[in-house]
Structure 1
Amino acid sequence: MFKILRPTLVVFALLSALTGLLYPLAVTGAAQALFPAQAGGSLVLRGGKPVGSLLIGQNFSDPAQFWGRPSATAPMPYNAAASGGSNQGPLNPALADAVKRRVEALRAADPGNAKPVPVDLVTASASGLDPHISPAAARYQAGRVARLRKLPADRVEALIEDHTEGPLLGLLGEPRVNVLALNLALDAAR
């Protein structure tokens, strides 16, 4: 019996060590060596303290800041441990109610803004953690942010333009604006 089990146990132990220990250590080491910022979570530091990550959205609620996409994570927004979409389809009344409330909140925060509300300001991303908004969503909020920060509108528009990232490799995805980076640039513009 032991002659039959021994090769099985040896292969199990070797594959466990290889796939459970050696491979993860090699991949982590390579990531740390080749892409240290990304492997460390793309943390943004101010005064030596982390203020956020460029990879995970944050709950900006101050009207003088740009707001990101709504988060679908629960029980708290932008909880990386609870990443996932809401799984609400376009015909779900709960989604329609949530979108309506979000549109109303955006209109209340900027009553003079009659522009159409960009869809990414009222719907969550698939992960619920997206740190980006579309340039249209940033421009939609520019008037409110400029007014509340007492900055010229063209200065805020220029910051949006400066922080608009193009498609990956010029081909993949859409232009986008990292909300944390834009808000930090606004803080520095004072």
Structure 2
Amino acid sequence: MLKEIRPAIILLILLTLITGLAYPLAMTAIAGAIFPKQAAGSMIERDGKVVGSALIGQEFKGDQYFHGRPSATTAPDPADSSKTVPAPYNAANSGGSNLGPTSKALNDRVKEDVDKLKAENPNAAVPADLVTTSGSGLDPDISPEAALFQVPRIARARKMPEDRISQLVTENTQGRLAGVLGEPRINVLALNLALDRAASK
């Protein structure tokens, strides 16, 4: 019986070493050599200090900054570990809210967000990505329309001309991949860093 089992055990160990160790290490080394920035997490730096990643959104609350999409990620409640509390852009708990179109909680939250945004900019239609969460809850990008919607609020808060802020939106807009895939988008962290630089001048 050992004669029949021995080749299977050897094959299992061999394939585990190849596919579980050698292959991942080789791919990591190749990725690090060809795409070092992406392999290191696409970190964004300011003044030599890492301030975030281009792949994971951050929560910006102040009126002087562009805001990203809402995030439905959660974290354990410090007071009661059997419950969760909202923790926007929590990379340790990526995921959506699982609330559907018939959910009263979802409808109430979206209505509240829409009302708040309409008060902020009553002359424009509210872009959908400013009131809907992404599937991961970590989306770092917004549409150019969502960024332009926020320009009047930021201009008031920073006492900057709206056309200068709109120009920053245009300069930081990334087009479709290969001109065909996806939609134009703007990384919120990169845009806010560009906004800080422009304001300091």
TM-score (norm 1): 0.94
Tell me the distance in 1 between the aligned counterparts of 2:26 and 2:34. 12
* 2:48 counterpart of 1:48: yes
1:184 matched residue in structure 2: 193
Shift of 1:92: 2.0
* 2:103 counterpart of 1:92: yes
Question: Which residue of the other structure, out of 149, 152, 162, is the alignment partner of 2:158?
Answer: 149
Tell me the distance in 2 between the aligned counterparts of 1:113 and 1:178. 25
Percent identity reads 57
2:68 matched residue in structure 1: 68
Tell me the distance in 1 between the aligned counterparts of 2:160 and 2:123. 21
Shift of 1:72: 1.6
* Structure 2 unpaired stretches of 5+: 76-86
Deviations along 1:48-85, one digit per CA (max 9) or x if unpaired, are: 22101111110011111000001121121111121112
1:104 matched residue in structure 2: 115
Tell me the distance in 2 between the aligned counterparts of 1:182 and 1:46. 13
Shift of 1:91: 2.3
Root-mean-square deviation (CA, aligned residues, Å) is: 1.2
Shift of 1:107: 3.9
Shift of 1:127: 1.1
- One-letter amino acid of the structure 2 residue matched with residue 106 of structure 1: L
Tell me the distance in 2 between the aligned counterparts of 1:29 and 1:80. 24
* 2:125 counterpart of 1:121: no
Regions of 4+ moved over 4 Å: none
- One-letter amino acid of the structure 2 residue matched with residue 74 of structure 1: T
Question: Which residue of the other structure, out of 150, 159, 163, is the alignment partner of 2:168?
Answer: 159
2:146 matched residue in structure 1: 137
* Structure 1 unpaired stretches of 5+: none
- One-letter amino acid of the structure 2 residue matched with residue 2 of structure 1: L
Shift of 1:101: 2.1
Shift of 1:86: 1.6
Question: Which residue of the other structure, out of 89, 93, 97, is the alignment partner of 1:78?
Answer: 89
Shift of 1:114: 3.1
TM-score (norm 2): 0.89
